[in-house]
Homo-oligomer: A and B are copies of this chain.
């Protein structure tokens, strides 16, 4: 049940209506791996950092069974940094600063023990990097999940379409699904996107939940209604990491299993937003996770005799 997650390991600085985080650890690979580690003990991160990245954080990954062997440390380099400010509604944000630093030259070289992973998550990076990772795999993984965004659709659509041919599950938000397909209806968008390669599509709608499509079926999971959303940073990556972590553990990639994976991903994402950065997601107990899945059951399950 080997799982490789390719994504950023980075610094964030966040400003929300509730306060300022200062410089903290973030990145798509960080959130996804912490989330997946709730299910499996041999998750491997592939990423790049500078010498300024704290050794203590790498130790924390390792303590959770996350291998950091695939994280390249650039001597004298500086780690990717993002600073953003959320508006009052917590659904929109402004980027205040982006320093690519070592990420600008990220050209991952997979460790040997990553090349035959059964489960592969390609976080939101340039399509070129995503393609390079796929090409280094010595055998086709059982399941490849890919995250991307409107930015790559704007500036690297051809390369993105090359990658889409080679993956199984695409995760994007509703606006990105519309942009990629040219269809407003998400049902029609899913059909167009399946023609591009993916066999499954997850449309993330933030506070409005997530839709999972395959060619014949559709499943919906709401976001848990919360009293307070403290910091939404990383919720999407936490969702995706929980999704693939659950599947990697069960090794069952049927649609019914994916439904359960969507619920676990949504449950983990609902923890993520409760505190700044990775603070909450790094400390979840199994009991808490199962309790939250029970809340999702109460939120969505009904009995109707027909």
- Please name 21 pairs of A and B residues whose Cβ atoms are closer than 8 Å in the assembled complex, sorted by A: A88-B184, A89-B184, A90-B184, A185-B227, A208-B208, A209-B209, A209-B222, A218-B225, A218-B298, A219-B300, A220-B299, A220-B300, A222-B222, A256-B302, A256-B303, A259-B302, A260-B304, A263-B302, A263-B304, A290-B306, A297-B304
A292 CA to B184 CA in the complex, in Å?
Answer: 23
A187 to chain B, nearest CB (A): 5
Q: Which of A185-205 contact B (CB under 8 A)?
A: 185-188, 205
CB distance from A217 to the nearest CB of B (A): 7
Interface centre among A185, A225, A293 (most CB of B within 10 A): A225
B184 and A211 contact, CB distance less than 8 A: no
Minimum distance in angstroms from A259 CB to a CB of chain B:
4
Copies of this chain: 2
Chain A, residues 162-202, CB within 8 Å of chain B (1/0): the string is: 00000000000000000000001111100000000000000
**Whole-angstrom CA separation of A186 from B223 in the bound complex:** 12
B-chain residues with CB within 8 Å of residue A263 when the two chains form the complex: 302, 304
A294 part of interface (Cβ distance < 8 Å): yes
Which of A184, A209, A226 has the most CB atoms of chain B within a 10 A radius of its CB?
A: A184
CA distance A142 to B178 in the complex (A): 45
- A299 close to B208 (CB less than 8 A): no
Q: Quick one: closest B residue to A260, CB to CB?
A: B304
Contact status B227-A187, CB under 8 Å: yes
Is the CB–CB distance between A219 and B293 below 8 Å?
no
Report the minimum CB–CB distance from A205 to chain B (whole Å).
7
Contact A208 B205 (CB under 8 A): yes
Are B226 and A187 in contact, CB atoms less than 8 angstroms apart? yes
CA A122 – CA B90 in complex, angstroms? 34
Check if A304 sits within 8 Å of B293, measured CB to CB.
Answer: yes
Query: When chains A and B are docked, how far (Å) is the Cα of A88 from the Cα of B184?
Result: 9
A282 within 8 A of B: no
Least Cβ distance of A188 to chain B in Å?
A: 6
Q: Which residues of B contact A227 (CB under 8 A)?
A: 185, 187-188
Check A56 for interface membership: any CB of B closer than 8 A: no
The residue on B at minimum CB distance from A219 is B299
